[in-house]
Homo-oligomer: A and B are copies of this chain.
């Protein structure tokens, strides 16, 4: 469909986040294929994009549903008609959130994470029999939330006794986010899910769902255990890609669909300062990251300092001349999920400079 007049990204004031529709389409196709090849249900984490427009494309490509982190995010996607949602979080179901969870359970097919007996009791009291399934969260090595695999059976039995329907186990192998850690984390993830599932089975609970996955590990296929292999994968970031995935060797620049478009406001020998700062890119910087973001057109460049509306870029020897003030450059955020959460909409471009759509970030700020 041709618009008249055609809008080009040069017509938009910087900074803004641009999504290359072609790269996104390729990421969606490949994400669905990867899950299919491994025999896994594909339930992408919508925290990354927070866009109904992207969720619809994921579902059209075969996603079985969405993963969310908060009740607020789930409410946004439920209102848009997505009817199969997993809250991969040990939700504390008190106060207004208890009522909101119960309403959600009456509206969509809902799964909810549990990682403590107190949380399970609270959730059972909140749901009051409303139809929802529970997955027990397992710590596979990230040491954030979740129980040890050996404790899953006991917690599952307790949750069932509290009146909850326990459908299986899940984990997030977040310790894959370190150089060289992907393969080990992928193996840990599968071993933890398998051990926890065996624990549920020993407690007389069929662990139908064994859900794992992260963008750094989804490309890896360690040998699967015979009986309790994963059934589901929940990658988030890989729909867009970001500088962290590039630096972890989990994606190339060519698989990064989203960049911040910025203007050079200051230049000096070897350096430029851009108008996209931490309020556009997000301030995430892992200890192993080489800087605060990457420039796909200048692979040797690094964002060496970031403030709210300034990104200081040091250019490498192979990067050619420093762009002059007024030039536009594209920056890959370190962590795309937090960058998207700063924007009201994403500018969709097709094959370069032409703006083909604007997608609202529907669940931006939906933290509760």
**Chain A residues engaging chain B, CB cutoff 8 angstroms:** 10-16, 47, 69-71, 89-92, 94-97, 100, 115-116, 118-119, 122, 144-145, 174, 263-267, 273, 275-276, 278-280, 282-285, 305, 307-310, 312, 324-326, 335, 337-338, 341-344, 365, 367-368
Q: Known contacts being A145-B266, A309-B89, A368-B15, is A325 close to B95, with CB within 8 Å? A: no
Q: How far, in Å, is A309 (CB) from chain B's closest CB?
A: 5
Q: A273 CA to B279 CA in the complex, in Å? A: 25
User: Are A15 and B367 in touch, CB under 8 angstroms?
Assistant: yes
| Chain B positions within 8 Å of A144 at CB level | 266, 273, 305, 307, 310, 312
Q: Nearest Cβ in chain B — how far from A180, in angstroms?
A: 20
CB contacts (< 8 Å) of A119 on chain B: these are 265, 325
Instruction: Please name 19 pairs of A and B residues whose Cβ atoms are closer than 8 Å in the assembled complex, sorted by A.
Output: A13-B71, A13-B96, A13-B368, A70-B309, A89-B265, A89-B309, A90-B266, A92-B264, A94-B263, A116-B267, A118-B326, A119-B325, A145-B266, A283-B285, A283-B338, A285-B285, A308-B341, A309-B367, A342-B342
Minimum-distance CB pairs A-B, first 8: A13-B368, A283-B283, A283-B284, A145-B266, A69-B309, A13-B97, A13-B96, A118-B325
Residues of B within 8 A of A310 (CB): 144-145
Question: A137 — nearest CB in chain B belongs to which residue?
Answer: B266
**In-complex Cβ contact of A365 among B265, B312, B326, B343 (8 A):** B343
Q: Is the CB of A116 within 8 A of B368?
A: no
- Give chain B residues whose Cβ lies under 8 Å from the Cβ of A324: 118
Which of these, B92, B278, B279, B284, contacts A265 with CB under 8 Å? B92
Asked if A11 and B96 make an inter-chain contact with CB atoms under 8 angstroms apart, the answer reads: yes
Name the contact of A174 in the complex, choosing from B145, B307, B325, B341 (C-beta under 8 A): B307
Q: Residues of B contacting A11 with CB < 8 Å? A: 95-96
Instruction: For A309, list chain B residues within 8 Å (CB).
Output: 69-70, 89, 367
> Do residues B368 and A92 form an inter-chain contact, with CB atoms below 8 A?
no
Return the chain B residue nearest A12 by Cβ: B96
- In whole angstroms, what is the CA distance A118 to B326 when docked? 9
Nearest residue in B to A72 (C-beta to C-beta)? B13
Which chain B residues border A96 with CB–CB below 8 Å?
A: 11-13
**Residue in A13, A95, A145, A368 whose Cβ sees the most chain B Cβ within 10 Å:** A13
Which residues of the other chain, B, contact A70 by a CB distance below 8 angstroms?
Answer: 309
How far is it, in angstroms, between the C-alpha of A128 and the C-alpha of B285 when the chains are bound? 42
The answer on a CB contact under 8 Å between B343 and A342 is: no
**Contact assessment for A325 and B367 in the assembled complex, using a CB-CB cutoff below 8 Å:** no
Q: Are A94 and B343 in contact (CB under 8 A)?
A: no
- With both chains docked as a complex, state the minimum distance between the C-beta of A159 and any C-beta of chain B, in angstroms: 14
CA distance A40 to B260 in the complex (A): 38
CB distance from A331 to the nearest CB of B (A): 13
Contacting residues, chain B, for A326 (C-beta < 8 A): 92, 94, 118, 122
- Name, among A47, A282, A337, A343, the residue most crowded by chain B CB atoms within 10 Å (CB to CB): A282
In the bound complex, how far is the Cα of B326 from the Cα of A122, in angstroms?
9
Known: A279-B341, A337-B308, A368-B14. A90 touches B174 (CB 8 A): no
CB distance from A8 to the nearest CB of B (A): 11
Which residues in B have their C-beta under 8 angstroms from that of A116? 266-267, 325
Please give, as numbers and ranges, the residues of chain B lying within 8 Å of A305 by CB-CB distance: 144
Contact A367 B266 (CB under 8 A): no
- The distance from the CB of A12 to the nearest CB of chain B, in whole angstroms, is 7
